[in-house]
Amino acid sequence: TRDKLIVSEKMASIGVFTAGIAHEINNPINYIAGATRLLTDLVDKQIAREDSKFSEEELASILELENTIKVGVEKTSSIIQSLRNYVHEDGGTFKLYNCIYCIEDALKILRSAYKGRIEIVKNYPEKLIIECMPGRINQVIINLISNAIDAIPEEGTIRIDAYAEGQEVILKIRDTGVGIPLDLMAKLYDPFFTTKDVGKGMGLGLYIVYGIISKHHGKISVHTEEGKGTEFTIELPMRHSDNAMPQMEVIRKNDAVT
Ligand code: ADP
């Protein structure tokens, strides 16, 4: 059976968010701290011996500890880099913008991840103008399509629909992936909820999507069927202000949809 979940109001507190970051970073920091302690011990022992040399065994340990520290530092900085990417403050103002560009840009960015493996079915017009924060809507589409890509183990299809309905734009991203087990649905938009391996996902994608859609006074819903696939639907109001004039529309140099 298909299940529909419409999340109306779910904004995780800063406390939950901070706890998540702390949890993620705590692990590599513990490794670094442990390795640093062992290195200090080795050096202290050598000093106590009043011997200017380390034994072969000690040198091997030092190299190993150095590597542990390096890996820990890399892990920590990659976590911080992903957080930066997620929260970077671009597209902070509402503009009239052709949201089809957001789809096309997302597909370009993700091309190497789906090329040759996943068929992309595009069902949208060349132009669909909405008042939005373009960079943020682009982020939403990137996050949804990359989840769709991750959900397809081998070959499959991702279908993208976009159309106007009344005063809204509807955007649908459907994949033929593994689907989402019903018992996970309630946690889907929580920060740091992920079923992916360490390093593959931090569980911030849908949390960010939810935040951006809320800021646009939109809605997000999901239909999923285990083993068959998932469809995310986003409804966005076309206009937020009465004085949004069409001439404010942002025209890009490369106006053609490829
Ligand atoms: P991440 O991608 O880092 O795991 P997200 O917040 O984007 O974080 O997604 C949270 C979880 O929701 C994923 O780990 C996955 O289990 C599930 N999920 C999201 N989108 C899909 C999808 N299209 N198909 C199957 N599962 C999905």
What was the pLDDT predicted at 111? 92
CB 179 within 8 A of CB 230: yes
What was the pLDDT predicted at 9? 38
Q: 45: CA distance to ligand 1 center in Å?
A: 49
pLDDT tens-digit readout, 25-42: 888 899 899 999 999 999
- 176 C-beta closer than 6 A to ligand 1: no
Q: Tally helices (H) and strands (E) across the chain.
A: 5, 8
- Of residues 256 and 157, the one with the higher pLDDT is 157
Residue 188 has pLDDT above 80, yes or no: yes
Average pLDDT, the chain: 84
pLDDT band at 86 (very low <50, low <70, confident <90, very high): low
Of 181, 184, 106, nearest to 146 (Cα)?
Answer: 106
Tokens (6 digits) for 54:
């380390």
Give the count of beta carbons closer than 10 Å to the beta carbon of residue 4: 11
Q: 116: CA distance to ligand 1 center in Å?
A: 22
Of 81, 208, 206, nearest to 135 (Cα)?
Answer: 208
pTM: 0.73
Give the CA diameter of the chain: 83
- 190 C-beta closer than 6 A to ligand 1: no
Give CA–CA dist 53/58, Å, rounded: 10
- 178 C-beta closer than 6 A to ligand 1: yes
Q: Whose CA is nearest to atom 20 of ligand 1?
A: 147
What was the pLDDT predicted at 252? 54
Give CA–CA dist 17/39, Å, rounded: 34
What was the pLDDT predicted at 2? 43
- 203 C-beta closer than 6 A to ligand 1: yes
Beta bridge partners of 174: 159, 231
Q: 151: CA distance to ligand 1 center in Å?
A: 8
Tokens (6 digits) for 240:
């937020």
What is the interface pTM, i.e. ipTM, of the complex? 0.99
